[in-house]
Structure 1
Amino acid sequence: MASVASTAYALGSLYPPQIATFITPRIAPPPPDPDHPSAIAYTEELESRLQKLPVLNELRTRSDAHEWYETRPYMSVPKEQLANSLTGGTLRGPAKLALPPVVRARKDESEAVVIMHVGTGLCGHEGIVHGGLLATLLDESLGRIALLNLPDKIGVTAYLNVNYRAPTRADQFIIIKTKLDELNGRKVKVSGVIEDVDGKVLAEANALFIQPKYAKLLNAKKLHARMGTPADPNEPPTEGSLTPSPAIPPVKAL
């Protein structure tokens, strides 16, 4: 009996049930230096896992794949221009937002799917991604499809409603699905959902974006470069034209 109890305890320690990890989570190490060989290797391995995700393969091979295009926001933007960007600069790096997201969008910009990885350095409660971070990711993902449907392709968030359905565990890939709900002049309503790779709903949201009256005076070029917007809206890029894997330097020996 004692040996059975010892075995059960050992297995429980190595593979704790989900509720136990919520109550007494394991403390994750702090995010590493992005230039450290271990961080570079981690990012490279994560990119490889991303490219092999069944959900991404399914999107790329579905029967209507020719009606969609693929892009990687932030990848064509010089690093110095992202220094003050929250999701493109401040939160970028190993154990945070380690990779540029993959966006699969319909060519008519009526819906899109965003796949990204959220690391252990983005938590509120240990091991659980901060709800405010999820709201930010929803705002950006919904904003992308909203702005691309506005007359001058630029807008601001009027409201964002988020309903959290389940805790979002850190260190996993998440899928954000967005769609256009209603377009009325300078106003556009959109909605979306965050799911894990198994399709479990983690959060839902709806939002209203408005194009400011002074939109024509603004230069939206840099904004659209960050979003990975096609150069010609009538001829969106085909898969691969804007989606190379991040240029990750080779791992140096310690």
Structure 2
Amino acid sequence: MLPGRAKVAQHLCRPAIFPKQNTQICRMPITTTTPSSNLLLLPLSKYRLFTTSPPSFATTDQSKTQGPIGNPATAPIPPEQQPEQPEQPPTTEPTPVDQPQTPHRRRSRAIYYSAVFLLAGLSFGTLLRLTLSPPPLPAPGSPEDLYLISKIQARGSHLPLVRALSSDPAWTSWDAYSGLEAAVSTHTQPISVVRSRITSGPLSGSNGLAFQRIFHNSSTGEVVSVVYFGPSTAGWPGIVHGGALATVLDESLGRCAILQFPARTGVTARLELTYRSPTITSDFYVVRTRPIVREGEIDPAKTARKMWVEGTLETEHGRVCVEAKALFVVPKGVKLKPLVEGF
């Protein structure tokens, strides 16, 4: 090849635009003529310049860009010599549980929990306020008090135990202190005497002992009393005072003993109480009393003057709240007025 032709070929096959990249230039055949006598340089025939695209613009397959000369820079790397690629963590599609909640759903749940806690707080606060600071009670003898008494007595008359004992011919029944009220109406006893007694005076009305139905079995000597304890009998809020329970039990046990005494009177010599569970106000309770008959005691005079009586105060369902035991006697040398019928 002539020197001029080499310069032209070198100029046409110069490196591509990106000299630092692994660029491959394909050589195309050059058509020449045989030297003539005039040594003229004939023009080159058809030629084309081929270059590979840079990696920043295209991704090429190293096996396809291998040139005919076998450039080592573009030769494929064996698998054992390839650098290790960092392992990519497996990608999993989010399940419906992992999907974030929508704002509407979060807002609905917040409103729901707010309403629940608000209702719970209001209910607890109202219950605590009514327990520690109950509303004012109606005045004794007022229209509201009389209305509440009628409602309580209607409820007590429809209790299953009251209806069962009322229909049993072995039991006689009456309302407590009905004999005293009859004595007042016939002017045989002043009303001041009735009102001076704690159970028929201060503890009367809808706030106290609004209902007391007495049942007596003359064959066995048992006495059953159904009693309602109103709000004014409370010591601790909502709990019947122990003194009020002792008063009702003392009177019920004494009624059982006095009905056995021929003198129809007597006093308490000894009273024993065992409190088992709290007694809630504004509810009905059952007082069961029975005389204790000791074996070998055959002296009628002694029995007519002294008697032990035992009893319990229970709920309507039979849960024992108080256990009681008392001794009643008819004192000697003291003349006591006998109690009226219907005491």
Q: TM-score, normalised by structure 1?
A: 0.76
Measured in 2, the distance between the counterparts of 1:114 and 1:26 equals 30
SS at match of 2:277: coil
Q: What TM-score, normalized to structure 2?
A: 0.58
Question: Which is strand-richer, 1 or 2?
Answer: 1
Indicate conservation of the 8 Å contact 1:109/1:149, yes or no: no
Identify unmatched segments of 5+ residues in structure 2: 1-108, 185-190, 295-301
- Which of 82, 85, 101 matches 2:194? 82
Cα RMSD, aligned residues only: 2.5
CA apart distance, 1:5: 6.4
Q: Separation in 1 of the partners of 2:140 and 2:207?
A: 10
How many Å separate the matches in 1 of 2:307 and 2:256? 9
Aligned pairs for 1:155-194 within 5 A: 155-182=266-293, 184-185=302-303, 186-194=305-313
The CA distance in 2 between the partners of 1:68 and 1:150, in whole Å, is 19
Partner of 2:165: 59
Q: Contact 2:166/2:172 (CA < 8 Å) preserved in 1?
A: no
Unaligned ranges ≥5, structure 1: 230-254
Matching residue of 1:238? none
TM-aligned CA distance change 1:170 to 1:5, over 3 Å: farther
- One-letter code aligned to 2:252: S
Look up the equivalent residue of 1:36 and give its one-letter code.
Answer: S
Higher relative contact order (CA 8 A, sep 6+): 1
How far does the alpha carbon of each residue in 1:86-142 deviate from its partner, in whole angstroms, 9 at most, with x for none? 10112111211223x100110236101101110111111011000011011000000
- Alpha-carbon contact 1:138-1:176 (below 8 Å) kept: yes
Q: Counterparts in 2 of 1:14-29, with a 5 A limit?
A: 14=123, 25-29=131-135
Cα 1:15–1:105 shift into 2, 3 Å: farther
Q: State the Cα deviation string for residues 146-190 of structure 1 (Å, max 9, x = none).
A: 111123222111111111111100101111011111374321000
Match of 1:219 in 2: 337
Change (3 A) 1:150 1:27: same
Partners of 2:333 and 2:263 in 1: how far apart? 10
Q: Deviations over 1:200-238 (max 9, x none)?
A: 1111101111111135x3321xx234xx15xxxxxxxxx
- Report Cα offsets for 1:14-71 as digits up to 9, x if no partner: 489xxx97xx93422233112322212111111111111112112223xxx2111001
Secondary structure of 2:196 counterpart: coil
1:207 aligns with 2:316: no
Partner of 1:30: 136
Considering only CA atoms, is the larger Rg found in Structure 1 or Structure 2?
2
Identity of aligned residues (%): 33
